[in-house]
Structure 1
């Protein structure tokens, strides 16, 4: 054979050799992939040419949660909390009766709207006092859109709390879960449910922005230990619940700080621990049962005229009161009354301090008053009486 023929035959032989090698490598790759698949499916998985069957008894999860999955879980938690709590939230509408000057006919005129929540299965509903203030009539709409006329049980103006009652069947009444406000921390998650601008069962979320704030009540007495939140609170949210991440009541939404009147991210709620004792007293006595000393005080704007820079100046003593039994003195034509400067070592700067300090006690508690009499300090032991 010629040299050219030999070269051609060598090239052809080399080409067939490469093809065989590629085929072998391809088969090896298929075997590796098949082995990997078998490894992933074992030990509770069997494979055939046409089917793959998985043993359902295995509970091993080979997947990890993605950020999207975590977000969905958080959303589901919020949705669940809302679904559980919203049936306890009510929509309150108020109206007033007015007589026409010319016809003398009486007309019912809408006054306003607000929110509230079901306190118990007896039909008691809690809201803000300012929601029903001066109203002639109040109607409560439940989550099933049934409407019931409300009866006023009692109010606490100085705490901006009112208790109403409706005669709805118990199966329609889901009492709100009650938490505590003595262990709250700034930054924890909160939800507000209410009826802003008449839009019933609106949910907003946020966090506790601050604790220990102070707002003015309808009785012009400060409410202390207020919860501040950035959950959107608008007109109509007043009286609605502020809830924690367990769906428990921790406060009653009551006020906002806003130059425009709309939510500006600064809302205030009355802590539930205050609401509990106020509501319980109203249900039991029809009013808040306050501890009292049995004195009337000189108005704060007059005390400085008597040379009193700090303290609560006693004007008069009520007969048969704790004050009269303990020896406290009121004002006469010839002398000033005692000036209360501390209660159990808590400094009293003015009348408001004395009122708020007494809220920490119950009727029957024993306290020690420090008073100024003739510019000399003296201590007086006293047992607190009851306002009713």
Structure 2
């Protein structure tokens, strides 16, 4: 009898211990799961939080205009002459080209692409609020495909220039313009590359484009590429496509380059360009081996021009420029993008490699 009671008590005690232990364990697991869920939730909020484009878009569309350029183009007409048969004659016909522009001051200065207003006899600017103005051409620069216009107006919304030297690959951007006459269109994407050369300008043209996958199409030319703060980082200029429509590759002129050029056009009616006085080339494996260079970084000085700023500063043929004003240079287009921001007479710091030596030079640019 006593043995039976002992067995029963033992079984009951074990059952109670198992039940209490299970309850405590379940509570602990539930607590851990809650904590883990909170951590995952917090991580998800950080990793998947998207930028808000609303403020940038609202600001940009007020400052991007629709440009309509009227120009005359000869059209060929045919008529039948009873004595001589079919005859042809030319008759001027007014055509209208469409593009975009960016207001850069409250008193009506507008930047656009030169190709948007080519051969224009009259330029009409349409604001986002549908107000229209006739615009005057203050100057154009074929080497960068930029133009500066002016309308007689005050208290206009405008975009501030951002420092395009500070942009990063992968950074979110908005493209704003009037593709296919669809006014005030905003598209989003990222910066895909910097200092891109795509060979669309004539000899002497300066190409150091920002590449983006934000949709750009016909009519976007001259429009704005802005950051998420609504600041201007580029002027949309071109696309690369086999179809003539956007396929993921759009290109914009960096804001630092645009700001210098329009400043000159406003002040002088032309661009005052500064030069180092050298011929340069990109460095690849073939050039590295041929000239026995110590690496692939920088750009090669293939020739120093006589009596140039470079010659006076002591730069020599086969030197390698690796930095300008502490900004690393690894391609011809990167160097052009930096130098185009300066005026004749400005002083720059140039870091070069000559063999195994690194040399720092300071000198003034020439016109």
RMSD: 4.2
| Structure exhibiting the larger radius of gyration computed from Cα positions | 1
> Alignment partner for residue 272 of structure 1, among 255, 267, 281?
255
- Confirm or deny: 8 A CA contact 2:56 2:227 kept in the other structure: no
1:216 aligns with 2:216: no
Deviation sequence 1:191-214 (CA, Å, 0-9, x none): 111111111111111222233322
1:132 aligns with 2:117: yes
> Alignment partner for residue 217 of structure 2, among 234, 243, 256?
234
- Confirm or deny: 8 A CA contact 1:150 1:166 kept in the other structure: yes
2:66 aligned residue: 91
For the residue of structure 1 that corresponds to 2:164, the secondary structure is: coil
> Alignment partner for residue 109 of structure 1, among 95, 100, 123?
95
Deviation sequence 1:338-381 (CA, Å, 0-9, x none): 978667988x9x999996775364322378899xxxxxxxx9x9
Q: Which runs of 5+ in 2 are unaligned?
A: 1-40, 77-87, 280-290, 292-299, 353-358
Deviation sequence 1:307-333 (CA, Å, 0-9, x none): xx986668988xxx8799x699xxxxx
Count of residue pairs the alignment pairs up: 284
- Confirm or deny: 8 A CA contact 2:161 2:233 kept in the other structure: yes
Q: Which runs of 5+ in 1 are unaligned?
A: 1-64, 298-308, 329-337, 371-378
- Confirm or deny: 8 A CA contact 2:138 2:269 kept in the other structure: yes
> Alignment partner for residue 119 of structure 1, among 79, 92, 104?
104
1:359 aligns with 2:347: no
- Confirm or deny: 8 A CA contact 1:311 1:339 kept in the other structure: yes
Compare relative contact order (CA 8 Å, sep 6+) and give the higher one, 1 or 2. 2
> Alignment partner for residue 246 of structure 2, among 263, 267, 274?
263
The 5 Å alignment of 1:103-182 reads 107-110=93-96, 112-167=97-152, 169-171=153-155, 173-182=156-165
- Confirm or deny: 8 A CA contact 1:343 1:357 kept in the other structure: no
Question: Using the alignment, how far apart are the partners of 1:363 and 1:124 within structure 2?
Answer: 24
TM-score normalised per structure 1: 0.59
TM-score normalised per structure 2: 0.62
- Confirm or deny: 8 A CA contact 1:156 1:288 kept in the other structure: yes
Aligned-residue offset at 1:238: 1.0
Question: Using the alignment, how far apart are the partners of 1:211 and 1:352 within structure 2?
Answer: 9
1:204 aligns with 2:182: no
- Confirm or deny: 8 A CA contact 1:292 1:384 kept in the other structure: no
Cα distance change on mapping 1:360 and 1:271 into 2, 3 Å:
closer
1:190 aligned residue: 173
For the residue of structure 2 that corresponds to 1:259, the secondary structure is: coil
